[in-house]
Amino acid sequence: MTTIGVEEEYLLIDPVTGLPVPLAEKVRMSTGVARLLDDQKVQSELLQAQVEVATPVCGTLEEVGGHLLRLRHAVVAAAEAHGCRIAACGTPPVRDRRPVAVTDEARYRAMRAQAPQLVAEQLVNGMHVHVAVDSREAGVQVLNRLRVWLPTLTAMSANSPLWDGHDTGFGSWRTVIFSRWPVSGMPPHFQDEADYDRRVQHLLESGLISDTGQLYWQARLSERYPTIEVRCLDVQLRVDDAVMFAGLIRALVETALGEATAGAPAPDCAPELLQAAMWHAARHGLSDTLIDPSGGRHRAGDVLCRLLRHVAPALEASGDSREVAGLIHRLLQDGTGADRQRAAFTEGGLGAAVDLITSESGTP
């Protein structure tokens, strides 16, 4: 069975004001977090109001869910010990006028010098799913087949509608913020591994990016692990929604590997259409239509049904079919995290939205 790993980013916020607080190092180094197993990680992020967690390599969705629950509970306890809360949302509902300090590492200081305003507004939290592949060449072939589904995944994961105390009108405002970096958005189509490496090297040699960590494509080859890394997701309010995406993305990767092995051509989709489909997904989440891989515009529920049919054999083979299908059905019934945040904000204002985020961030 193909292995998977998950990374999640959280905000640290004041429980009364909802403002991000720069306590990442204290939370990360607290006793509760330090007692985690060596193969589970809690680490700093770009800004000092963020922490990132990473599961070890997992073989089953049960493992993914168990590790994420333990990691969240550990960070919740550490945050509460320092008078703050974790917020598993893509953007902070409200920000202070003063920028949050950058974590004191050379790479982050260089990014601030490169783009100070972008860094100041980079209070965004994603979920990254790593799926193992046998080779970089296989990974490139997966990217070419997976990219047409990235707008659908973005719409499903939308969990960042609020910014500076108001509703942006977007389901995933995080997607819009991240799209402003030089190399971001939809990954291009690559001929093969050599083409991928040549184009990345050209970006590095031009000085437009300082390292491969600044390849902010929504999916890419990982430079640290032998994996495909899918990065288009907002971090999820609930752990079981994160588990759903882990299972779904593994199934997409396994399906793409099967297609590549069989010699099936990668979908031919115009880059401008894919980019517009991503914008549309970030704007509406699941509350409107979606653009499916063939370029047609359909009801969101119909596109999700097509996605489930597309990956059904892979889900059956891994034993994940019932769990993933059930969670997708719940998503369609309950709405995305953005829908739930927006409903709380409309009914009870900013305080209600913050209460929803902090209460759900530490529970299944």
Residue 104's pLDDT is: 85
Asked if 318 and 250 count as a contact pair (C-beta separation under 8 A), the reply is: yes
- The answer to whether residue 148 sits within a structural domain is yes
Q: What does the alpha-carbon distance between residue 364 and residue 360 come to, in Å, rounded to a whole number?
A: 8
Q: How many CB atoms lie within 10 A of CB 1?
A: 13
The DSSP-derived string for 152-189 is HHHHHH--B-EETTEE-S-SBHHHHHHTTSSSEESPPP
Residue pointed to by tokens 């700093």:
44
The domain containing residue 91 runs over which residues?
4-349
Is position 360 within any domain? no
356 located within any domain = no
Q: Are 77 and 34 in contact (CB under 8 A)?
A: no
Summarize pLDDT for 117-149 with one digit per residue, the tens: 998 999 999 999 999 999 999 999 999 999 999
Return d(Cα 187, Cα 246) in angstroms, integer: 20
pLDDT (tens digit per residue) in 226-236: 999 999 999 99
Token output for 85: 């809360």
Asked if residue 113 belongs to a domain, the reply is yes
For residues 9 and 89, the answer to whether their CB atoms sit within 8 Å is no
Assigned token pair, 329: 């059905």
Token pair of 294 as six digits: 């063939």
Distances (CA, A) of 298 to 290, 308, 351: 6, 15, 35
Specify the pLDDT at position 37.
47
Question: What is the model's pLDDT at position 2?
Answer: 94
CA 302/CA 307 separation, integer angstroms: 9
Total of domains in the chain: 1
User: CA-CA distance, 55 to 70, in Å (whole number)?
Assistant: 10
Which residue type sits at 185?
A: G
Hey, how many other C-beta atoms are within 10 angstroms of the C-beta on 16? Answer: 10
Q: Give the pLDDT score at 28.
A: 86
Task: Report the distance separating Cα 212 and Cα 332, nearest Å.
Answer: 36
Is residue 141 assigned to a domain?
Answer: yes
Hunting for tokens 């069975």 — which residue is that? 1
Show Cβ contacts of residue 319 under 8 Å, excluding neighbours closer than 6 positions. 60
Examine residue 359 and state whether it is found in any structural domain, yes or no: no
The residue ranges of DSSP E strands in 249-340, in sequence order, are 289-291, 297-299
By CB atoms closer than 10 A (0-12, 13-18, 19+), residue 163 is buried
Global pTM? 0.96
Is 29 in contact with 48 (CB distance < 8 Å)?
Answer: no
Distances (CA, A) of 199 to 52, 93, 191, 193, 249: 29, 37, 11, 10, 25
What CATH code is carried by the domain that includes residue 38? 3.30.590.20
Q: Which residues of the chain have pLDDT under 70?
A: 31-40, 363-364
CA atoms within 13 A on the CB side of 80: 10
Question: How far is Cα of residue 35 from the mean position of the Cα atoms in its chain?
Answer: 26
Q: Taking the C-alpha atoms of 312, 248, 162 and 28 in order, what is their torsion angle to the nearest 10 degrees?
A: 170
Residue 362 is assigned to a structural domain of this protein: no
User: Which token pair is 305?
Assistant: 């049904």
CA dihedral 162, 341, 158, 251 (to 10 degrees): 150
354 occurs within a structural domain: no
Decide: helix, strand or coil at residue 40: coil
Burial (0-12, 13-18, 19+ Cβ within 10 Å), 298: middle
